[in-house]
Amino acid sequence: MDIPQKIDLHMHSAVSDGSDSPAQLLAEARSAGLGLFALTDHDAVKGCLQLRELLEPGDALFLSGVEFSCRDGEGKYHILGYGYDPLSPAILGLVEFGHSLRMKKIHARLAFLEREFGFVFPEEEKRRLLARDNPGKPHIGNLMVKLGYAESKEQAIREYINKLSLRDDFIRPEQAIRGILAAGGIPVLAHPFYGDGDQLILGQEMDRRLRRLMDFGIRGVEAFYSGFSEKMTGEMLALAERYDLLVTAGSDYHGKNKLISLGDTGLEDASQGPAGLLRFFAEVRDKL
């Protein structure tokens, strides 16, 4: 089986913070002409299980994925997992832990916004928000826009929601990496250059961060990404070659919740991709 020309290994459905249901996402993947795609919802495998049931003969190859938001004393990381056993206790335990932290933060943020800014959230709206699979800051931001407390989701997050620091309520990167590995999956560092907020991690700092995550068991890097310049992609590919890391490509598509198109990875032809990408495909081939 040859690697397809057009791939996208990073996208989100309404199970986390995307706008498309798994069924709608599959329809979009068909329209975009993808040959291989992965759903990487935050702290959730439910969408992958649903989407796999919807696949029909002739559809693109599908790879189960997940994304965990992590933090430790060194900073913030997003860890992607691919090709894991979705029924493994290791991945289900990690998902449940991530979800519990997410729900704890939702309650804390709503209380903070009411206490500090006087924003009143009607009980029916709060019930609807808390009933979502994995509610997060974008969902609170959209609710604030609906209630007239902000002009946009981005303004709500930047000027209000982010005023509350919850730095201790995160999965640690080694927890995510080791949980993915224990479930038979491949842990990959998502959009590696991006840290907190507008922070860019470059040069020696990026090299040091990668080597530290390799000590935990990270297997690959997302070298092709919708937000990367050609120079950034080149630097990440050089690091992947230096440390013999696998390579992936993803758009970070969120449907209507972000201005990113499905398949916008910066990689024109995956079949002619770097050695790290071809090795990634070879490792997940039997899981497609």
What are the residue boundaries of the structural domains of the chain, listed by start? 7-95+170-287, 105-163
Mean pLDDT of 69-88: 93
pLDDT for 132: 87
> Per-residue pLDDT averaged across 223-248, rounded?
97
pTM, 2 dp: 0.92
pLDDT at 195: 83
pLDDT band at 165, cuts 50/70/90? Answer: confident
Domain 7-95+170-287 and domain 105-163, same fold? Reply is no
Is residue 77 scored above 90 in pLDDT?
yes
pLDDT exceeds 90 at position 281:
yes
Q: How confident is the model at residue 24 (pLDDT cuts 50, 70, 90)?
A: very high
Assigned CATH class of 105-163: mainly alpha
* pLDDT higher than threshold 80 for residue 276: yes
Q: How confident is the model at residue 86 (pLDDT cuts 50, 70, 90)?
A: very high
Judge contact between 144 and 119, C-beta under 8 A. Answer: yes
* C-alpha distances in Å from residue 105, one per residue of 37, 45, 165, 273: 30, 20, 10, 40
Mean of all residue pLDDT scores within the chain: 94
DSSP string, the chain: -PPPSSEE--B--TTTT-SS-HHHHHHHHHHHT-SEEEE--BT--HHHHHHHHH--TTPPEEEEEEEEEEEETTEEEEEEEES--TT-HHHHHHHHHHHHHHHHHHHHHHHHHHHHH-----HHHHHHHHTSSS--HHHHHHHHHHTTS-SSHHHHHHHTGGGS--TTSSB-HHHHHHHHHHTT-EEEESSTTB-STT-B--HHHHHHHHHHHHHHT--EEEEEETT--HHHHHHHHHHHHHTT-EEEEE--B-GGGSS--TT-SS-S-GGG--HHHHHHHHHHGGG-
Q: Is the pLDDT of residue 168 over 90?
A: no
In this structure, which topology does domain 7-95+170-287 adopt according to CATH? TIM Barrel (3.20.20)
Calculate what percentage of the chain has a pLDDT beyond 70: 100
